[in-house]
Amino acid sequence: MMKSLVENFPKQLSEAIEIGKSAELTHSNNKITNVLVCGLGGSGIGGSILSELVVANANVPINVTKGYFIPAYVNENTLVIISSYSGNTEETLNCFELALNRKAKIVSITSGGKVAELSKANGLDCIVVPGGMPPRACLGYSLTQLFFVLGFNNIISNNYINELEQSIKLLNSEESNIIAEATSIANKILNKIPVIYATTYNEGIAIRFRQQLNENSKVLCWHQIIPEMNHNELVGWTQKNDNLSVLLFLDHDEYSRNMTRVEINKEVITKYTPHITEVFSKGNSAIEKAIYFIHLGDWVSIILGELRGADLMEINVINHLKSKLSEI
């Protein structure tokens, strides 16, 4: 099932655009001065990716919280987006209640559950997406709706619609190449610990890839961002370790100083592991490039999981955790 969900990602994006276009949203009675996206895991990663993609376009600050609480600045001038695919994420529900108490403008993105119930009971905007799938397989739904919510509230321009549509065309035209590249990457990191490096404003993409390797492939890995890691993690490369496989997620039009750093980093790291792979995005906009990376990373996680004989759907340990928490 997970493999078919990844295959259908372009169709999901198309459906998500139609959902966004038909969403019944209302304007706030107050001027929006900041945005807070509340969500965790597969439901929350869209907020991280969105905040980086629109950083040069959004006219107010956009922050993301992935826990039980919201910042002190949240008030009636805050747009709070509640993103919970199941609608029952306890941390996000707590944020929902707190945002209600602060009289924030609340918009929810969910497939149902308590989030939908709370939204209806309080007369709040709620975009309902198709349910019954793992949250990590529904990023196309949640990420797309985030764009529509920001666009409706005049926080970003409407260019995102065209860029999302172009992203779908890109994935459809590149699908066979994406699978081939994903297969190559999966074989390179098989039986190794992936170390994921990306540059500023691509951290959400790196986190998404790490999470997909965790949940689908059932492996541990880590990520860091250039140039930040040049001020700390680079010093940690002091011992040879053939079990580490470095993946560098890059754009062909990277900021020149970052590319200089990448080249120097490669010189340092190759002294300690021979396994370094550069992965370049495709697309003409930041959104296209991000969608391309997301789809490529998802395919890597599927193929690596298959190579390892993993159950792509299984998340027993998360279910165990939720079960234990429900007993308290």
Nearest C-alpha neighbor of 237 from the set 197, 205, 200: 197
DSSP per-residue codes, 280-325: E--SSSHHHHHHHHHHHHHHHHHHHHHHTT--SS--HHHHHHHHHH
Cα(63)–Cα(16) distance, rounded to whole angstroms?
A: 23
The verdict on whether 231 is a catalytic residue reads yes
CA nearest neighbour of 30 among 98, 102, 105? 105
Q: Please indicate whether residue 192 is annotated as part of the active site.
A: no
318: which 2 tokens?
Answer: 């998360």
CA-CA-CA-CA torsion for 117, 123, 126, 132, nearest 10 degrees? 20
Q: Which of 169, 240, 271, 322 is catalytic?
A: 322
Whether 90 is a known active-site residue: answer no
Q: Among residues 52, 181, 203, 215, which one is catalytic?
A: 215
3-class secondary-structure state, position 191: coil
Q: Of residues 21, 24, 31, 231, which has the active-site annotation?
A: 231
Residue 274 in 3-state DSSP? Answer: coil
Catalytic residues: 215, 231, 322
